[in-house]
Amino acid sequence: MRKRIALFFFLCILLFIPEAESESQQVEVMEISKDNSEYKSIQIRFSTLANVDKYNIYYGETEFNNTNEASLHSRILVSSEISVFDEVPAERALDKCWYTDTDSFDTEFLFSAYRDDSGFPVIPSNSTNIVYNLVGLKTNVTYWFAIIGVDGEAPLDFSVTNLVSGSTEVIGEVPPSLDKTPIFIAVFLIFFAVLFLFYLLSKKEDSKFNKQGYLYSLPAFLLLCILTFYPIISGFYLSFTDSTSSRMGEEEFVGFENYGKVLDESAFLRVTFTTLLWTLTNVIAHVSIGLGLALLFNKKLYGKRIYRTILLLPWAIPSFISVLVWRGMFQPSGLVNEILGIEGYDYFSSTGSALTIVIMVNIWLGFPFMMMVFSGALQTIPKDLYEAAEIDGASNLEQFTNITVPLLKPTLIPVSLLGFIWTFNMFNVIFLMTSGGPVVEIGGPGGTDILITYVYDLAFPGGHYGLAAAWSVIIFFMLLIFSFYYTKVSNATEAAQ
Amino acid sequence: MNKIQSVCLSFFLVLTGCLEEDTVSSEGESGSSINLILWYTFEGKEEDVFLNAISEFEEFEPNINIEAVPKPYGSSEQAFVTAALGDEAPDIMRFSSDQLGYVGKFRQNGYPLLEDLRPYMTPIEREAWDPIAIEGMRYNDELLGLPASQDCLSLLYNKAIFDSNDIDYPNSNWTIDDLLETALDLTNNNHYGLVFPVKSPYWWFAFQSGFGGNLFDGGLPSLNSEGSADSLNFTLGFELKHEIIPAGTGVEQMENLFMESRAAMIIDGPWNWAEYQAARLQIGQTLLPKNSDSDLRMSPMVNFKGYSISKQSKNKDAAFKLVKWLSSSSVQKEFAVQTYTMPTLIEVYNDEQIQNNTVITGYIGQLQQGFPAPTNDKMGLVYNYLPDAMESTYQWIESDGDEGNPSHISLELSQEAIFDA
């Protein structure tokens, strides 16, 4: 019984003890610092209060008398066990906050506030002053602030007496628009250089210069300057700089450094060899198959048009679709394995098979063009030459070597040269089928990488624009030298005349 | 000569025209309408929900016109960079957190390509987001996007296959040995116990963490470690040693096998759940298993997807309004309910409808076991070089190369390549 009475009295005492109220007091803001304002941010400075465990910062675009008329902007926690919180430098934090344990606000006495799990600033309980950048504020809008020091639960409403106002005038940073003037000036200069060349040619006494003809072709020259000459010159310039993804527009001239890196690269010879193998195999196959089929269709053949239409299909279908279909067929679970009854063989896992497949696909894609060109060229050879040869008793082979080949030469030379250049720079087949793989060396070119696909890897995922430009210039010179040598050796010009 | 002079004059006039400044309406012009261009990477049902959200925004912000342009997810960061370097960036772009490292490193005339969003929100506004999601969208010190969703891989299983084989469903107490044994039991006659693309880094990261490996140590690549090498051998073993997974399985084949009920288990994200349901599969989900040797649970990489504002945008405040709307609780909830997209706002986590959705809560449980995708610039290089390392290890094991541990060698080489790049 005594125990029950004691318990009753104890409960009564508990009921009469006033509930522990949270204490709140307003903090006076010492300064709103305009000098230190940043974009969407205003810096405030204030002294700490004793016996509070957080500071709530309220704000509004109009003056307010009570915190319930304003919005809560942020809070700063006070802790005597600061070591349990994260140490975050002010620059790294989502909003900058510092504290001091002296009376000075000098930078040397400012320490970055610690952070709780939600990213709110936490300061040690012995702090004396706080510097806080209030973020999320609009530019050129005056805001009113009140800071309440709270011990315990924050009150739902609290009368405020001294508000402070401030605004930030810092406007958002928009990078200047890309300066296209040098591009236009460069194109302009190239254009005038071409015009000046024409002018000099027209002044020559024995010149066959046809002013009207050049005038008509002037728009085309202008487009050439913009679309061809300028990118080439720009590429040359880039190859002498250290341009990378993180230094665009701030690149510096590095002379022949990029060229040195290219030639020093162990994979340079391997990729060049793969490129030559890829190009020569394709061009020889394109020309031979194209010419063979053109000769076949030049003779009387039943259903010739149907065959020709079917053979033109690879050329008519967009190449990326054909390539993706081929890639699907050569997958481990693809049609090729299914037909051959092989399970799970990956054709793209070894350089030999992957290279064979990409070459085969490109041959399939390329021969219809050659067939069409040669079919047209064969129509121009007079039939009576063959009739005369037949009367003279020439065999089919003799007719081919002595009539067809010499008379096809004006077509054969430029077309095979064009085929060489196209195939040398053919990007989509390898990129879409193997992406340059399989891996030969990690970080280096893959087994089916040719020069152009490797340059892409360097430039785009890699971001090494200067180096990629140096590779491109080397490719350009390789093709230039080949074209010059090829046309000279084959006497293409004379043949054409 | 007069003709040439007149042509030159015309050319000069055209050139002068080209050099004129763009006349784009800016926010400063009061009352004028603002045009925003937004590039997004949604498809299917997600795209419908997204476009509805855009229409709603245009209704309550009639002065803001939005041109939403779809872009393929795979090359979206490249498309953005190309446009931005040509001064043609859209105002807003949807990025995944693991793309931010690539975009973040670009500078044009000293300026980054994306706006730092830290000053745009008060700390109290920011508190609405899961702090891990906010952290996940940061590159160096900057906040480059507002997270609107998150996702990761988890273990899904076809209940019908388990029932017909009289095997208990996978559960959160499973170890990777249980996973392997059950997968072996369920592999027969063109039916497979488990499917996932073994040569994909994204899938491997989960195994790597379960074996005690990690991608970065103190910000530096740490690909080559005991845990990483063991996990790579173990992962590739599903295809090469145990033949549980068909050779060369890619993402598409993995999905097809599971959809056709030819695979009992799949390691997959929530994005395909609706599609599997539409195929009338009875599916369950559980946490990725533990590694009994290391006592660590497989921890998938968590990707956050959100909206970033281009530094070049002339209408950043309007763009932020839209970004905030697209990340708001109502839009996130709509995405979660309609497409099982995991939210990033705490309010949506705690929403009753979300709490009652077992798919979402299951994946939220998995997310809590995951690790946020690193957003440093080396992460892009990991994606560049790691596939090479995985492929060469695969080929090495396949060709019975027996000198040294191929995983160690390949991972070391890719780590060196990342350092050198």
Higher pLDDT, B204 or B418: B204
Higher pLDDT, B331 or A176: B331
Residue A144 falls inside a structural domain: yes
| Nearest-10 crossing angle of helices B329-339, B44-60 | 160
Question: Does A58 score more than 50 pLDDT?
Answer: yes
B158 with B146, same domain: the answer is no
Contact of A127 with A82, CB cutoff 8 Å:
no
Residue bearing tokens 């628009």: A177
Higher pLDDT, A470 or B402: A470
Q: What gap in Å lies between CA B176 and CA B296, rounded to an integer?
A: 10
**Three-class SS state of B22:** coil
A156 with A196, same domain: the answer is no
Residue B17 falls inside a structural domain: no
Residue A315 falls inside a structural domain: yes
Q: pLDDT > 70: what percent of chain B?
A: 89
Higher pLDDT, B55 or A155: B55
Apex CA A84: angle with CA A79 and CA A88, to 5°?
A: 90
CATH of the domain at B337: 3.40.190.10
Chain A positions touching B248 (Cβ under 8 A) are 331-333, 344, 346
Residue A453 falls inside a structural domain: yes
Contact of A77 with A116, CB cutoff 8 Å:
yes
Instruction: State the pairing for strand pair A114-115/A143-151.
Output: unpaired
A192 with A279, same domain: the answer is no
SS3 string of B342-382? ECCEHHHHCCHHHHCCHHHHHHHHHHCCCEECCCCHHHHHH
B122 with B170, same domain: the answer is no
Instruction: State the pairing for strand pair B301-309/B371-372.
Output: parallel
- Which residues 116-145 of B have a C-beta within 8 angstroms of A? 118-127, 131, 134, 141, 143
Chain B positions touching A346 (Cβ under 8 A) are 247-248
Q: For B68-105, give the DSSP string.
A: EEE--GGGHHHHHHHHHHTT---SEEEEEHHHHHHHHT
Q: What gap in Å lies between CA B208 and CA A353, rounded to an integer?
A: 32
Q: What is the mean pLDDT of chain B?
A: 87
Apex CA A134: angle with CA A128 and CA A140, to 5°?
A: 135
Residue B1 falls inside a structural domain: no
Higher pLDDT, A369 or A218: A369
B120 with B187, same domain: the answer is no
Residue B15 falls inside a structural domain: no
Question: Does B17 score more than 50 pLDDT?
Answer: no
Task: Please report the pLDDT score of residue B2 as a whole number.
Answer: 53
Range of the domain at B316: 34-150+304-372
If one counts the domains in chain A, the total is 3
Q: E strands along A343-438, which residues? A: none
Task: Please report the pLDDT score of residue B405 as a whole number.
Answer: 65
Residue A18 falls inside a structural domain: no
Q: Which of A44, A57, A94 to mutate to test the interface with B (most CBs of B within 10 A)?
A: A94
Digit-coded pLDDT (tens) for B32-88: 799 999 999 998 889 999 999 999 999 999 999 999 999 988 788 989 998 998 889
Contact of B375 with B136, CB cutoff 8 Å:
yes
Residue A175 falls inside a structural domain: no
B180 with B251, same domain: the answer is yes
- In the sheet that holds A41-47, the strands lie side by side as A29-38, A41-47, A129-135, A97-100, A111-112
Chain A positions touching B87 (Cβ under 8 A) are 177-178
If one counts the domains in chain B, the total is 2
A213 with A323, same domain: the answer is no
A316 with A451, same domain: the answer is yes
Contact of B25 with B33, CB cutoff 8 Å:
yes
B117 with B163, same domain: the answer is no
Question: Does A76 score more than 60 pLDDT?
Answer: yes
Task: Please report the pLDDT score of residue A203 as a whole number.
Answer: 75
Task: Please report the pLDDT score of residue B51 as a whole number.
Answer: 97
Q: Would an 8 Å CB–CB cutoff place B246 in contact with chain A?
A: yes
Chain A positions touching B3 (Cβ under 8 A) are 211, 215
Contact of B206 with B288, CB cutoff 8 Å:
yes
B115 with B225, same domain: the answer is no
Contact B421 A245 (CB under 8 A): no
Q: What is the mean pLDDT of chain A?
A: 86
B138 with B275, same domain: the answer is no
A288 with A407, same domain: the answer is yes
In chain A, whose CA is at the least distance from the CA of B11? A188
A322 with A266, same domain: the answer is yes
Q: Would an 8 Å CB–CB cutoff place B48 in contact with chain A?
A: no
Contact A118 B131 (CB under 8 A): yes
A337 with A378, same domain: the answer is yes
Q: Would an 8 Å CB–CB cutoff place B252 in contact with chain A?
A: no
Question: Does B164 score more than 70 pLDDT?
Answer: yes
Q: For A146-201, give the DSSP string.
A: EEEEEESSPPS--B----EEE-B-PPPP-PPPP--HHHHHHHHHHHHHHHHHHHHH
Contact A246 B388 (CB under 8 A): no
**Three-class SS state of A455:** helix
Higher pLDDT, B380 or A122: A122
Cis peptide before A175 (omega within 30 of 0): no
For residue A141 the two structure tokens come to 């809008």
A207 with A282, same domain: the answer is no
For residue B113, give the DSSP letter.
S
A339 with A446, same domain: the answer is yes
Dihedral sign of CA atoms B253, B254, B256, B261 in order? positive
Range of the domain at A214: 181-239
- Give the number of A-B residue pairs with CB atoms closer than 8 Å: 168
CA neighbor of B53 nearest in space, from B316, B270, B330, B304? B330
A224 with A260, same domain: the answer is no
Contact of B84 with B113, CB cutoff 8 Å:
yes
Question: Does B252 score more than 60 pLDDT?
Answer: yes
Digit-coded pLDDT (tens) for B355-410: 999 999 999 999 999 999 888 777 877 887 888 888 888 888 877 665 556 666 67
Residue B71 falls inside a structural domain: yes
B260 with B399, same domain: the answer is yes
A154 with A195, same domain: the answer is no
B391 with B279, same domain: the answer is yes
For chain B, how big is the Rg over CA atoms in Å? Answer: 24
Chain A positions touching B11 (Cβ under 8 A) are 188, 191, 222
Residue B18 falls inside a structural domain: no
Backbone angles phi, psi at B129, to 5 degrees: -85, 150
Contact B314 A175 (CB under 8 A): no
Contact B107 A75 (CB under 8 A): no
Q: Would an 8 Å CB–CB cutoff place B311 in contact with chain A?
A: yes
Contact A333 B417 (CB under 8 A): no
- Which residues 183-242 of B have a C-beta within 8 angstroms of A? none
B277 with B390, same domain: the answer is yes
Chain A positions touching B389 (Cβ under 8 A) are 439, 442
Question: Does A20 score more than 50 pLDDT?
Answer: no
Q: Would an 8 Å CB–CB cutoff place B315 in contact with chain A?
A: no
**Nearest CA to CA, how far is A49 from chain B (Å)?**
22
Least confident of A280-289, A438-447, B158-167: A438-447
Residues in Cβ contact with A464 at an 8 Å cutoff, skipping those fewer than 6 apart: A244, A458
Q: What gap in Å lies between CA B258 and CA B191, rounded to an integer?
A: 10
Contact B248 A344 (CB under 8 A): yes
Digit-coded pLDDT (tens) for B203-240: 999 999 999 988 888 777 888 888 888 899 899 999 98
* Residue A114 to residues A81, A106, B411, Cα–Cα distance (Å): 11, 19, 37
CA atoms within 13 A on the CB side of A46: 21
Residue A246 falls inside a structural domain: no
Residues in Cβ contact with B240 at an 8 Å cutoff, skipping those fewer than 6 apart: B394, B397, B398
Q: Where are the alpha helices (DSSP H) in B86-222?
A: 97-104, 123-126, 131-136, 159-164, 176-185, 201-210
Task: Please report the pLDDT score of residue B4 as a whole number.
Answer: 53
Residue B133 falls inside a structural domain: yes
Backbone angles phi, psi at A399, to 5 degrees: -60, -40
What is the arithmetic mean of pLDDT over A307-335? Answer: 87
Residue B7 falls inside a structural domain: no
Residue A19 pLDDT grade (very low, low, confident, very high; cuts 50, 70, 90): very low
B275 with B322, same domain: the answer is no
Q: Around Cβ A155, how many Cβ atoms within 10 Å?
A: 17
Task: Please report the pLDDT score of residue B28 as a whole number.
Answer: 45
A131 pairs with which residues across the strands?
Answer: A45, A98
B83 with B105, same domain: the answer is yes
- Which residues 386-415 of B have a C-beta within 8 angstroms of A? 388-389, 391-392, 394-395, 398, 410, 413-414
Digit-coded pLDDT (tens) for B98-151: 888 889 988 888 899 999 999 999 999 999 999 999 999 999 889 999 999 999
CA atoms within 13 A on the CB side of A248: 21
Backbone angles phi, psi at B300, to 5 degrees: -75, 155
A336 with A464, same domain: the answer is yes
Nearest CB to A94: which of B81, B118, B317? B118
Residue A2 falls inside a structural domain: no
Phi-psi region of B9 (alpha: psi -120 to 50; beta: other; left: phi over 0): alpha
Q: Would an 8 Å CB–CB cutoff place B107 in contact with chain A?
A: yes
What is the arithmetic mean of pLDDT over B310-330? Answer: 95
Contact of B126 with B346, CB cutoff 8 Å:
no
Residue B29 pLDDT grade (very low, low, confident, very high; cuts 50, 70, 90): very low
**Three-class SS state of A459:** helix
